[in-house]
Amino acid sequence: MIDDRLAELVAVLRQAPERSAVLLDIDGTLAPIAANATDARVPDATRATLGRLVDRFALVACVSGRQAIEARRIVGLDQLDYLGNHGLESLSPGAATPETLSEAAAWRPRVRAFAVGALDGRPEATATGLWIEDKGPIQALHWREAEDQSAAERIVAAIATAATEHGLALHHGRKVLELRPPLAFDKGSAIQRLLAGRTFASALYAGDDHTDVDAFGGLRALREQGMIGSAVCVAVRDAETPNAVADAADAAVDGTEGLRRLLDALVLP
């Protein structure tokens, strides 16, 4: 069951699903965090709920730091909209390939060359289990699998300093450091682009990390502009969720299971 506060917020969304949007982060929100990021998968029960949501709601979208194609693979549903790379990419329902913001695509060679060079110049980095995920214009350094976490974090800190000197932007996530083009983009501007030109009775966003707080801000800005009647921001809490996420949210659920129960409540007959 969900608590009274959530039940109240759910009731708002249930009033007019055909004019409402459901926007969801993936890792730590829909899919449990996996020790190896490539093993993450949305559980079957959650996928079934998402299938019912997309039949009933005006818009169901996943907003992820992963590449859009990878996001769709993990969720396993073609009917949803996917915003990947924190909104640098968008993949429409059924589309074969994502669209990338052109100013970001132009940065890919430079960001990639820096990331590869940073690891090649530090043999100890690969020895700790640090690896690079090639996300096009974003290159992500992962160390969740590293045996010596503090050694990995020291190396990442050194690479971060060098990246800044190289003119790149940084973004820290849960055991991941992203090297990014120095462009202004986040999940907030991503959902604003996705929802642009449409009005919604209500919209929900759920997420578990700092990047999702940007999405909360984007959703609330749309409400201030009168594009959304009600904005509902939900924190998905587990042991690693930064406090800032729950502090910024309207309500919180416990982990990916708690979120699934909330989504189930949206599609109850």
The verdict on 209 binding Mg ion (CB under 5 A) reads: yes
Residue 25 binds to Mg ion (criterion: CB under 5 A) = yes
Q: Quick one: 27 or 178, whose CB is closer to Mg ion? A: 27
Total number of residues binding Mg ion (CB under 5 A)?
5
- Residue closer to Mg ion by CB (options 229, 242) is 242
Q: Decide if residue 178 touches Mg ion (CB under 5 A).
A: no
Ramachandran class of 12: left when φ > 0, alpha when ψ lies in -120 to 50, beta otherwise:
alpha
Q: Which is nearer to Mg ion, 28 or 181 (CB)?
A: 28
d(CA 69, CA 82): 8
Nearer residue to Mg ion within complex by CB, 49 or 128: 49
- Residue linked to tokens 């890919």: 108
What's the min distance (Å) between Cβ of 242 and Mg ion? 11
- Residue 175 contacts residue 208 (beta carbons within 8 Å): no
The two tokens of residue 183 are: 């462009």
- Among the residue ranges 91-99, 135-143, 208-216, 241-249, the one whose residues contact Mg ion (CB under 5 A): 208-216
How far does Cα 59 stand from its chain's mean position?
Answer: 17
Residues 75 and 50: beta-carbon distance below 8 Å: yes
Q: Which of 70, 178, 186, 208 binds Mg ion (CB under 5 A)?
A: 208
Q: Residue 239 and residue 241: Cα distance in Å, rounded?
A: 6
Footprint on this chain of Mg ion (rule: CB under 5 A): 25, 27-28, 208-209
